[in-house]
Amino acid sequence: MTRNIKSSQRPFIMPIFVPHLGCPHQCVFCNQSSITGSNSKASPGSITEIINDLSEKVTLHCSELLFPVFQGPLNDQLRAQRGRARRREVAFYGGSFTGMDKKVQIQLLSAIQHLIRKGLIDSIRVSTRPDYIDPQTLHLLREHGVKTVELGVQSMVEEVLRCSRRGHTAEDVLKAAGLLHGGGFELGIQIMVGLPGDDALRNGHTVDRVIRLNPHFVRIYPTLVLKGTHLEKWYHSDRYTPLSLKEAVELCKRAFLKFHRAGIPVIRLGLQSSPELETKGCIVAGPYHPAFGHVVESSLFYDMASHLMGKRLKSRILRAKVSPSDLSNIRGQKNENLSQLKQRFGLLDIQIEVDEEQPRGSLILINGTKLNEVSYRTLPFS
């Protein structure tokens, strides 16, 4: 089972955020209730607004995407490139899609149908909760061209789910994953590290159980203390202590390696930075970094280099060979990896070579003769 996705195979995703459509839950880390009011429901006005915006936005995205390659009417362009382009998906993010009123779901999904018929959009993805998946819901999604469902799982440990007030169980996740696999959907799973009641052992347990669910991809998010959440109150009353950035990176490295070795792509590490998130005061505390994924992979490359350096060095000049996609990972944030490696191992210089043939996530070090090769697959767990 190997599902590492080449960038050319990754879908081109057009996200549509539906945060104002409300959610009756109050997970301790989520600030949705402070934004929308805990009992907010979709208003007819808000849905019309989203739908009016939708078609125009998606058509514009498609034109921009195709224009550099093809000229002429959009439909001709699409026919000409059929089979060659990345899959184009509209994604409804920002709430629990299948928890919304059925009429609202149908209205939103229907607004995309003419784009699917024209071939502008290949499919739709939605994100939702595990306890909002049942056979009728999946039937509705399938009928409207939804092919991918992302489940906010967060943890597979009951006590962590309870402490985080998720309102669903690990058993709900098992059932939902079974229904989604059985229904032929692509399954994505989101998990979090650093939730209340969680620790390294429990997080490892979550990762192992998620691997057994055989998802098509995962996203991993460190828990942040956001303004207006229960977690903020707990943080101020010393009931909750967030992970440090270093702790979050260590946990995510472990999870990343396990998923990688199971052939499950990790398509996101850390929250996407956004103007809202970076507004002063929005993040009260916690391991936020605007390029968290890069910090994690750079740290893995530092570990890989240190692992190989444990062998005897013949010269104080080192050559490192990586895939072009890993150039910034071996360098680290602001070249930190290189300066730390030089200092730690008394090196005069580290020369980096990029090699198109080198697999992503692997490192060769040459010191006189070839030192050895290590990769995400072979690096021993620390």
Contact call for residue 27 and ligand SF4 (CB under 6 A): yes
Contact call for residue 149 and ligand SF4 (CB under 6 A): no
List the beta bridge partners of residue 22: none
Indicate if the alpha-carbon torsion angle 222, 227, 232, 235 is positive or negative. positive
For residue 380, give both structure tokens. 């021993």
Total of residues contacting ligand SF4 (CB under 6 A): 10
Cα–Cα distance, 120 to 283 (Å, whole number): 38
Q: Please choose, out of 18-26, 115-123, 184-192, 330-338, the segment that lies near ligand SF4 by the rule CB under 6 A.
A: 18-26
Contact call for residue 23 and ligand SF4 (CB under 6 A): yes
Helix (H) or strand (E) holding 374: strand 369-375
Q: Are strands 217-222 and 123-128 parallel, antiparallel or unpaired?
A: unpaired
For residue 192, give both structure tokens. 């979090």
Q: How far is the CB of 129 from ligand SF4 (least distance, A)?
A: 5
Q: How far is the CB of 293 from ligand SF4 (least distance, A)?
A: 21
Q: How far is the CB of 172 from ligand SF4 (least distance, A)?
A: 12
Minimum CB distance to ligand SF4 smaller for 95 or for 270: 95
Contact call for residue 95 and ligand SF4 (CB under 6 A): yes
Cα–Cα distance, 365 to 290 (Å, whole number): 30
Contact call for residue 98 and ligand SF4 (CB under 6 A): no
Contact call for residue 152 and ligand SF4 (CB under 6 A): yes
Question: Among the residues of 67-223, which ranges form H helices?
Answer: 74-81, 102-117, 135-143, 158-163, 170-182, 200-212
Following CA atoms 76, 80, 86, 92 in sequence, which dihedral angle do they give, to the nearest 10 degrees? 20
Q: Please choose, out of 23-31, 102-110, 297-305, 339-347, the segment that lies near ligand SF4 by the rule CB under 6 A.
A: 23-31
> Which of 30, 180, 189, 305 is close enough to bind ligand SF4 by CB under 6 A?
30
Binding mask 101-140 for ligand SF4 (x = CB under 6 A): ----------------------------x-----------
Q: How far is the CB of 239 from ligand SF4 (least distance, A)?
A: 19
Q: How far is the CB of 153 from ligand SF4 (least distance, A)?
A: 11
185 within 8 A of 138, measured Cβ to Cβ: yes
Q: How far is the CB of 309 from ligand SF4 (least distance, A)?
A: 42
> Which of 12, 26, 140, 197 is close enough to bind ligand SF4 by CB under 6 A?
26
Q: How far is the CB of 100 from ligand SF4 (least distance, A)?
A: 11
Cα–Cα distance, 90 to 148 (Å, whole number): 10
Contact call for residue 96 and ligand SF4 (CB under 6 A): yes
> Which of 25, 57, 261, 268 is close enough to bind ligand SF4 by CB under 6 A?
25
Q: How far is the CB of 231 from ligand SF4 (least distance, A)?
A: 11
Question: Cβ contacts of residue 103 below 8 Å, gap of 6+?
Answer: none
Cα–Cα distance, 56 to 70 (Å, whole number): 20
List the one residue out of 179, 189, 77 whose CA is nearest residue 137.
179
DSSP string, 10-54: S-EEEEEE-GGG--S---TT--HHHHH-TT----HHHHHHHHHHH
Please, which of residues 48-77 interact with ligand SF4 by CB under 6 A?
none
Minimum CB distance to ligand SF4 smaller for 27 or for 112: 27
Q: Please choose, out of 19-27, 225-233, 240-248, 372-380, the segment that lies near ligand SF4 by the rule CB under 6 A.
A: 19-27
Binding site for ligand SF4 (CB under 6 A): 23, 25-27, 30, 32, 95-96, 129, 152
